[in-house]
A and B are shown apart, each in its own frame.
Chain A
Amino acid sequence: MAGSGRLLSLLAHLALILGVVVMVLPVYLAFIASTHSGGDFLSGRVGLLPGSLFLENYRTALFTGSSTQGFPPVGPMLLNSFIMAMAIALGKIAISLLSAFAVCYFRFPLRQTAFWLIFITLMLPVEVRILPTFQVVADLSLLNSYGGLTLPLIASATATFLFRQVFMTIPDELTEAALIDGAGPLRFFWHVLLPLSRTNIAALFVILFIYGWNQYLWPLLVTTDTRYYTIVMGIQRLAAAAVEADPVWHLVMATAILAMLPPILVIALMQNLFVRGLTETEK
């Protein structure tokens, strides 16, 4: 029994190590590729060890781009991605906190209707309403703007439900105290509810930041001006160039690394909030 137990544990370690290798390998190879010169790929000199052009390649990708292949530097794209991710995460949290507060702490006509309208957005991902949504954004002249990139994505049923659940667990005595003390609803919201939901807000922020950063289809539709490219959608233009003509794989892979670094850092640094946010939002 003990012997077979030890064997099983050994197998478990082996399986996990294998799993980690499979997870890490694609990223490791991308990193290796990003440290070689473009010519090295064709001559087959890119193996499993890093080259010597780490700083040079990343400087080129970030600040100069490659004018011959017609792709812009990715530094500004990183900034756009950051603005988009922050605006989406904070926007979703703000409007969902307010709506959850409204449906929990007030009774008013059409309350049920409002709740259902918010619920329906769960069933309408961008992918199923691509053309008409594009039309609306074009009519509002929001193409090529930060508003166009973020506004259509910040309605959130999931976040509203989550905050509703959190509010439902907050004791009614607190509300009674506020009513007796003559504190208005906004004062109560700001001084009681917000501090009590701090951890939930932080956990949700981690998930929503990643969600916003990784948007692809929407930026692809609403940006034609390179000044508004985000890095995740911009990388596809670079990759197309890599297939077409000169070997620019080193720059494509440097861009890929830069595109995944911020959200991975967020997960790595906020591991516990991340797990909490994931399990809270997805049920």
Chain B
Amino acid sequence: MQAKRVTFPRSLTPYLLLAPQLAITLVFFIWPAGQAVVSSLFAEDAFGLSRAFVGLANFAALLRDPTYLNAFQVTAVFSASVTVLAMVLALGLALAADRIGKRAGPYRVLLVWPYAVAPAVAGILWWFMFNPTIGILARALDAIGISWNHFLNGEQALTMVILAAAWKQVSYNFLFFLAGLQAIPASLMEAAALDGAGPVRRFRFVVWPLLAPTSFFLLVVNLTYAFFDTFGIIHATTGGGPGQATTILVYKVFRDGFGGLDLGGSAAQSVVLLAIVIALTAVQFRHIERRVQY
């Protein structure tokens, strides 16, 4: 990481300038994260009276815990569905908006605002539409013979939170896909059209390859969103239920940490999540370096 070529003379100033940011980083980020790693290696009783080093036993216990493995599975289904749904819908809308060109302005305005809706609020909106007695979607489903009750049916509950999470994320993906599409030179498309390529072939052989970096970037961002930012959707609506049907990893860490009394186990869960974030961030940064090169 370079500095500017011309810099100010040496003094205490830079340390003072950095002090607020570093103080907050150390106190509220690095120290607690260190604590999580340390306590994941210890077994502690609920009152903090005794503590014993157990090595990786907490992690081993997690891998044997069926509810934890279940949370992993739910997270996988949830994140994959949210990501695919939000990206495919957004790509479709972006292609449509790109097709009509300048006149797409009003559509853009009407499509981007859900970005501003908090995940928890998005969850409440969908929860209301699916309410088994008064929700409009639940009643519509009832009319075509599907009995909807997400309070009892785990698959339906999971479907509901997936829809709410994807609904909120479409606008973000739409903006990035549209920007990606608009960056494709018109001459390329014209050349392909002159060569007799129809819309489908133009998409397959010109648009899609040029859009790949954007898609990859969005893939990582969407996975991160589905893993971490959707806590509010789950907490405000299903509370992880019915049973464990909508308990994703982030929700489980929260519930086990504050409700349960197994501090070591909860810390081990945090460390697993930490590893996931580090992996996602690393992938994202390597990708950006690649993009900068050409």
Q: Which residues of A contact B (CB under 8 A)?
A: 8-9, 11-13, 15-16, 19-20, 22-27, 29-30, 33, 41-42, 44, 46, 94-96, 98-99, 101-108, 111-112, 114-115, 117-118, 120-125, 127-133, 135-137, 151-152, 154-156, 160, 167-168, 172, 175-176, 179, 184-186, 188, 210, 213-214, 216-217, 220-221, 232-233, 235-236, 239, 249, 252-253, 256, 259-260, 263-264, 266-268, 271, 274-275, 278-279, 282-283
- Among B49-57, B62-70, B73-81, B272-280, the stretch that binds chain A is B272-280
Given known pairs A104-B4, A151-B28, the reply for A283 and B118 (CB within 8 Å) is no
- Give A48 Cβ to nearest chain B Cβ, in Å: 8
The 4 A-B residue pairs with the shortest CB-CB distance, nearest first, are A132-B32, A263-B116, A214-B118, A132-B35
Q: Which residues of B contact A (CB under 8 A)?
A: 1, 3-8, 10-11, 13-15, 17-18, 20-22, 24-33, 35-36, 39, 89, 92-93, 95-97, 99-100, 104, 107, 109-122, 124-129, 133-134, 136, 167, 170-172, 175-176, 179, 199, 217, 221, 228, 231-232, 235-237, 250, 253-254, 257-258, 263, 266-267, 270, 273-274, 277-278, 281, 288
Cβ–Cβ < 8 Å partners of A175 in chain B: 4, 6-8
Show 29 residue pairs from A and B whose CB-CB distance is below 8 angstroms, ordered by the A residue.
A12-B99, A19-B111, A22-B167, A23-B111, A26-B128, A26-B167, A27-B125, A29-B128, A105-B4, A108-B15, A117-B30, A122-B281, A123-B278, A129-B32, A129-B35, A130-B253, A136-B27, A136-B28, A137-B28, A155-B21, A155-B29, A175-B4, A175-B6, A210-B115, A210-B116, A214-B116, A214-B120, A216-B231, A283-B288
Contact assessment for B29 and A131 in the assembled complex, using a CB-CB cutoff below 8 Å: no
Contact partner, B231, options A103, A118, A127, Cβ 8 Å = A127
Contact assessment for A131 and B217 in the assembled complex, using a CB-CB cutoff below 8 Å: no
Contact assessment for A256 and B125 in the assembled complex, using a CB-CB cutoff below 8 Å: yes
* Given pairs A217-B231, A279-B179, 9 additional interface contacts (CB within 8 A): A8-B199, A12-B97, A15-B93, A20-B110, A99-B17, A117-B30, A184-B8, A232-B121, A267-B113
Contact assessment for B236 and A236 in the assembled complex, using a CB-CB cutoff below 8 Å: yes
Contact partner, B107, options A20, A94, A102, A184, Cβ 8 Å = A20
Contact assessment for A118 and B8 in the assembled complex, using a CB-CB cutoff below 8 Å: no
Cβ–Cβ < 8 Å partners of B217 in chain A: 283
When chains A and B are docked, how far (Å) is the Cα of A236 from the Cα of B278?
Answer: 31
User: Secondary structure at chain B's binding surface: helix, strand, loop or mixed?
Assistant: helix
When chains A and B are docked, how far (Å) is the Cα of A102 from the Cα of B21?
Answer: 11
When chains A and B are docked, how far (Å) is the Cα of A25 from the Cα of B114?
Answer: 11
- Give A4 Cβ to nearest chain B Cβ, in Å: 8
- Give A10 Cβ to nearest chain B Cβ, in Å: 10
Contact assessment for B110 and A24 in the assembled complex, using a CB-CB cutoff below 8 Å: yes
| Closest B residue to A230 using CB positions | B118
When chains A and B are docked, how far (Å) is the Cα of A30 from the Cα of B209?
Answer: 41
- Give B290 Cβ to nearest chain A Cβ, in Å: 12
Contact assessment for B116 and A267 in the assembled complex, using a CB-CB cutoff below 8 Å: yes
When chains A and B are docked, how far (Å) is the Cα of A125 from the Cα of B277?
Answer: 8
Cβ–Cβ < 8 Å partners of B99 in chain A: 8-9, 12
